[in-house]
Amino acid sequence: MDSTIFILALLDGVSYAALVFLVSVGLSLIFSVLRIVNVAHGSLYAYGAYVAATLSLAVAPISPWLTFPALLVASVAVGVVVGGVMERFLLRPVYGREDVLQLLITFAVFMIMDNLQRLIWGVQPIFASTPLKLLPNVSVLGVSYTSYQVILLPAVALLTVLGLRYFLRHTLAGAVILAVTEDREAATAIGVDARRVFLVTFMIGASLAALGGALASPTTSLVPGMGADMIVLSFAVAATAGLGQIEGAAVTALMIGIARAFVIYLQPEFEVLVPYLIMVLVLLIRPMGLFGVDKVRKI
């Protein structure tokens, strides 16, 4: 392998990993605190993308630069509103009951949101690429890249890792979440409102999924079914890292993204298999995931 391929594959892998990480870290965060595998996480990704595209298309005529805040606004709006409603009215009533109930409810939400998405936005692909076009291309070894994909997306992913780490380890709200994660009963006994922690955590996780979708929206066509694909991939990343591992999810997303890029350069036939092959191999050797520990409820 020559150095050109190595550098190009590395860049492609990092760019791909950034988006996958943003979605999978939300899934991981929700699992670590609420112990829920949220099947509707992919729908939150899709709604983040669709709402961001809708907002972007609305504000672009005023000023194309407004499309950047539109991406953020869409993520928070979807995370707070959709995530909030899901947690408060659908998941809260079944806490403490069989895990399968939560799984079934999130699956039902996924199906409902998928149908609603078609009703609201139709079935024709939607594309809102203004943010992508506003930033210049950069040339690496004679190959042109969009700086949106090779600079902005990895930067947002890095900021998210650092931000989450700081939030959970150095703020009171983060400490409260960690306390509930470690021992819900003990935290409740000292006056922590665990239900509120669950709600806020779910909204943060949902916002991260929506942020992934919003940031992807300028680069890809929004189509029915896009959420289903992303939930499978983000689950593979979260499971490989070990559910509940934030930094682990970042490293695993990088590992899968870079491996996928190298495979496309060297053996493209195996592209689709790579994430799942890595997941299976890791879980066979370490069932709790690469960075997981026996007690998975630790962030």
Partner 1 sequence: MKGALRPALGAAALALALTAAPAFAQDKPAQIKIGITTFLSGPASVFGVPGKAAAEMIAEDINKKGGIGGVPVALTFVDEGAGGEALVSNYRRMVQDEKVDATFAAISSGSCTQLVPIAEDLKVMNFMWDCGAASILEARKHRYNFRTQANATPEMLAVLVYLLKTKPDFKTIAVVNQDYAWGRESWEIFSTALKAMKPDVKVVAELFPKFGAPDFSTEISRLMALKPDVVLTTSWGGDLDTLVRQAGQRGLLQQTTFVLGIGESSMQRLGADLPEGLIVGARGDHWFLHPERKNDAAFKAFNDAFKAKTGAWPIYPVYHMYQAFSALQASYDKAIKANGGKWPTREQVIDAAGGTEFQTWGRPVTLRADDNQGLEAQIVGVTKSAPGYDFKVLDNMMVFDAKPITTPGGQKSIEWLKTLTPDFAKMNVPTFKHGQ
Residues that bind partner 1 (CB under 8 A): 4-5, 8-9, 11-13, 15-16, 19, 114-115, 118, 122-125, 127, 129, 132-133, 137, 141-146, 149, 216, 219-226, 229-230, 260-261, 264-265, 268-269, 271-272
Contact criterion met (CB below 8 Å) for 173 and 180 = no
Q: What is the CA radius of gyration of the chain?
A: 19
CB of 114 to partner 1, least distance (A): 8
Task: Kindly tell me which of 56 and 146 has the beta carbon lying closer to partner 1.
Answer: 146
**Are residues 210 and 47 in contact, defined by beta-carbon separation less than 8 angstroms?**
yes
φ, ψ (nearest 5 deg) of residue 156: -65, -40
Tokens of 236: 């593979």
Nearer to partner 1, 61 or 191 (CB): 61
- 222 phi and psi angles, rounded to 5 deg: -90, 120
Alpha helices in 135-225 (DSSP H): 147, 153-170, 172-182, 184-189, 194-216
Nearest distance from C-beta of residue 275 to partner 1, angstroms: 10
CB closer to partner 1 out of 9 and 251: 9
Nearer to partner 1, 64 or 224 (CB): 224
**Which residue, 56 or 201, has its beta carbon nearer to partner 1?**
56
Q: How far is CA 14 from CA 104, 130, 254, in A?
A: 34, 22, 6
Phi first, then psi: give them for residue 284, nearest 5 degrees. Answer: -65, -40
Whole-number Å distance between alpha carbons of 56 and 129: 9
Tally of helices (H runs) and strands (E runs) in the chain: 14, 2
Shortest approach of partner 1 to residue 137 CB, angstroms? Answer: 7
Q: Shortest gap between Cβ of 15 and partner 1 (angstroms)? A: 6
Nearest to 139 by CA among 266, 3, 8, 2: 8
Q: Write down the least CB distance from residue 200 to partner 1, Å.
A: 29
Q: Which is nearer to partner 1, 28 or 129 (CB)?
A: 129
Residue 145 carries which DSSP code?
E
Question: Which residue's CB is nearer to partner 1, number 227 or number 292?
Answer: 227
- Minimum CB distance to partner 1, residue 281 (Å): 19
Burial category of 267 from C-beta neighbours within 10 Å (exposed 0-12, middle 13-18, buried 19 and up): exposed
**What's the closest the beta carbon of residue 19 comes to partner 1, in angstroms?**
7
- Both structure tokens of 11: 């860049």
Which residue lies nearer to partner 1 by CB, 15 or 32? 15
The distance of closest approach from Cβ of residue 9 to partner 1 in the complex, given in angstroms and rounded to an integer, is: 7
Report the distance separating Cα 206 and Cα 177, nearest Å.
16
Q: Which residues pair with 126 in a beta bridge?
A: 222
